[in-house]
Amino acid sequence: MSEAARRFGPAIEALHVFLKWGAPVVEGFPRSYKFTLGDRIVATALDTLERLIEATFDRDRQKPLAAANLNIEKLRHLFRLAFNLQCLDERRYEHAARQLDDIGRMIGGWKKQAAGYEARAVSGEPEKG
């Protein structure tokens, strides 16, 4: 695990890596889609990053994690549409799909962990450390 992943969490680091790869890919979209579909993809990915950062600092992590998870699903569909409109080749589409699946699993694990902490906080059980 990289230093950044240890510091910010693996889901945030994975999304950073995804954005670093995806932003230039979107810039290569045909002009007719770059400023509509491309901008939507980048905005949704950035919003997802914001939700994950909120989850890092918020006591109630479920709401921002649920929003981030929904955004990952939106990104899956946006990338599928980009592929169907021939904005992406198959190799890039498959890469995006794999990365989004991995990030989605990380967010799901984080949600499960946060639900356990919140349940223990409500019941008064001490945290496992």
27 belongs to a structural domain: yes
The CATH number of residue 106's host domain is: 1.20.1440.60
Cα separation values, 121 from 14, 59, 65, 109, Å:
29, 11, 18, 18
- Look up the pTM and report it: 0.85
Distance CA 83, CA 3 (A): 34
Total domain count, the chain: 1
pLDDT in tens, 45-96: 999 999 999 999 988 899 999 999 999 999 999 999 999 999 999 999 999 9
Distance CA 29, CA 8 (A): 31
70 belongs to a structural domain: yes
Q: Structural domain of residue 67, as residue ranges?
A: 3-123
Surface-to-core class of residue 56, CB atoms within 10 Å of its CB (0-12 exposed, 13-18 middle, 19+ buried): middle
